[in-house]
Structure 1
Amino acid sequence: MRKFRIAAGLSQDQVAVRMGVEQTYVSGLERGIRNPTLTTLDRAATALCVKIAELLEASDNP
């Protein structure tokens, strides 16, 4: 998720606002300490303008 956020030129705060969550939650997602639901993955993908599949593929290849 971090690489997509950086590629989009967004801060964690900006992604959090787009997702409707706290910045600390975005940080936890990026560090792999949060297990997102499908709804959260959808919000993250939408916030980053990518497909959910891209987020999942990226998590397999850090």
Structure 2
Amino acid sequence: MNAEKQTGLKVTVSDKDDVLWMRDSATQEGIMSLGYLKDGTQQRIIAALEDALFQAKSQLFLSHDVN
């Protein structure tokens, strides 16, 4: 185990049990497939990430209304 604790988040997009896309901000690593650019999967991944970002931002704004 690395003695130095790394900070960051890992974002994963999965379809059922298959990981389609991943990005780890701590290690700067990620996974993807060039085939997804041709078959439309990359657009589905982007749409899912945009939807998740919208939800996260909306939840952040909700927290401003909580005392």
User: Normalising to structure 2: TM-score of the pair?
Assistant: 0.32
* Larger strand fraction of residues: 2
Which structure carries more relative contact order (alpha carbon 8 Å, separation 6+)? 1
TM-score, with length taken from structure 1: 0.34
- Bigger helix fraction: 1
